A and B are shown apart, each in its own frame.
Chain A
């Protein structure tokens, strides 16, 4: 069974600085998808960024980028120029490639605090 581990329960960063959230996973599959979701307090979960395992290039979305190390099964999220609105729980998630059941396996999350 696939597992996702987020070893940092809490992180904090000064506004405008850069922070990196860690995620490792375990799978025997060679092809899969990885995601970072953001869950603000009392608000719904939204997708931050996704990575297809067959792509060597790291995904980027504006201030968000990932460092995908397939051999090490590591998938970290870097947030540049942190803003107050980035404060949230961040969940790393794994999805196998099988068509028809795209259920997600989540880590336990990292609570990110932005210090003004």
Chain B
């Protein structure tokens, strides 16, 4: 059990470019969550997966955002046509199949849009 990992840790991009982030959850955790954290704020829920199914998306997730979790393992979050307002820390968390369990967070990907 190596914990939740995220790649890259930092991403700097120019406005209008597409970016993709990856999250590898703790093995055998069937639930995976994406959150966004802007400076001075707490994390805000974006979306979550149970296995490969995306079951809920926040209103924060505009149509420029898409997330996938093929085969119920790792997940990717893609942002198309990035805007300066997308600059934030993107956090991934995973949870086992037991509802009473705790979410374990990855180190996050810090996105800076110039």
Please give the residue numbers on chain A whose beta carbons come within 8 Å of chain B beta carbons, in ascending order: 4, 6, 35, 37, 43-47, 50, 91, 93, 97, 99-109
Contacts and interface: CB of A to CB of B under 8 A. Distances in A.
Contact of B42 (A50, A103, A107): A107
B43 A106 contact: yes
14 contacts: A4-B42, A45-B105, A47-B102, A50-B102, A99-B99, A102-B99, A103-B33, A103-B45, A104-B45, A106-B42, A106-B44, A108-B42, A109-B40, A109-B41
Interface size class of B (residues with CB under 8 A): 20 to 34
Interface string B30-64: 01010100001111110010100001100000000
Chain A contact residues: over half helix, strand or loop, or mixed? Answer: loop
A44 B101 CA distance: 18
Interface string B19-36: 000000000000101010
A101 B107 contact: no
B106 A44 contact: yes
Given A45-B43, A50-B102, A103-B48, 17 more contacts: A37-B105, A44-B4, A45-B91, A45-B105, A47-B102, A47-B103, A47-B104, A91-B42, A100-B99, A102-B99, A102-B103, A104-B35, A104-B93, A105-B45, A106-B43, A108-B40, A109-B42
